[in-house]
Structure 1
């Protein structure tokens, strides 16, 4: 297995064998219970009917009956079923049927690509995408989402901050084609 965080350059490859990579010691296809529990700071699962949280505020989870859920309950449910496990080191694991099916990398890990200061430089480093989506808000270009189907990845370019802001690998919408 190749640890993505030890070789971030591999993320720019046009062809990735996702069966041979892991993130934070957890491989795609591994049980979600193998995600290091101590690093999980938030979770998303269908057991949660209402969520409240934000900057400088502890997360609160409630089920459909209004009962407050602990983070452990939400993590356990997401790890056994479907959801997302968000880690303190700004990594996210997508879970389906108790199995890790996707990785999301954002935050300081992507400073590795800080030398890319234009969308054209991103294209030179990552290659031409199979599909590119312009992200606009109120007529302003916010950025691009580039999809690389063979590598099953998407790369988000932030046009305001001129940087790579997110890389998804695996089973995320758009990563495998139309």
Structure 2
């Protein structure tokens, strides 16, 4: 089994057997309760109907009755149903029916690819995507989304900062083709 965090070059493969990789010790298909609990700082689940949080603001969750569930309650609900588990080290786990079905990496982990300073460099390193989409806002190019169906992977290129800003694997929209 390949640990992605110990072998980040694995992420550049256009074809990847997702049954043979894990992130942070957690494999796709594993029970979500196996995610590293001590590093989870935020969660998203259907238990939460309103959320308040952000930079330098403690997260607050509210359920349908206006009650404020604890982070542990939200994490437990997400890990046993559907949702997302967000870790302090800029990793996320997508959960469906209590099972990890996707990984996302962002932040400092992607500094491994800092030598790629252009979208063309990304294409040279990762290969031609099965689908690429330009992201524009108000006439400005914000970035590119490159999808590699053979690896069930999405690579986000930030055109403003000239860097990869996100890589996700698994059951995310667009990762498996049309």
TM over 0.5: same fold?
A: yes
Residue in 2 that maps onto 1:11 = 11
Residue in 1 that maps onto 2:164 = 164
User: 4+ residue runs of structure 1 moved beyond 2 angstroms?
Assistant: none
Residue in 1 that maps onto 2:138 = 138
Aligned counterparts of 1:122 and 1:72: Cα–Cα separation in 2: 38
User: 1:119 aligned to 2:119?
Assistant: yes
Aligned counterparts of 1:28 and 1:156: Cα–Cα separation in 2: 21
Structure 1 length as normaliser, TM-score? 0.99
Aligned counterparts of 1:115 and 1:55: Cα–Cα separation in 2: 28
Note the C-alpha offset of 1:53: 0.3
Q: Give per-residue Cα distances to partners, 1:97-152, cap 9 Å, x unaligned.
A: 00000000000000000000000000000000000011111110000000000110
Equivalent pairs counted in the alignment come to: 178
Aligned counterparts of 1:50 and 1:59: Cα–Cα separation in 2: 11
SS in 2 for 1:15: coil
Aligned counterparts of 1:133 and 1:66: Cα–Cα separation in 2: 40
Aligned counterparts of 1:139 and 1:172: Cα–Cα separation in 2: 27
Alignment RMSD, CA only?
A: 0.4
Note the C-alpha offset of 1:165: 0.3
SS in 1 for 2:15: coil
Structure 2 length as normaliser, TM-score? 0.99
Residue in 1 that maps onto 2:23 = 23
More moved, 79-88 vs 131-140: 131-140
Ranges in structure 1 where 5+ consecutive residues have no aligned partner: none
Q: Give per-residue Cα distances to partners, 1:78-104, cap 9 Å, x unaligned.
A: 000000000000000000000000000
Residue in 2 that maps onto 1:50 = 50
Residue in 2 that maps onto 1:174 = 174
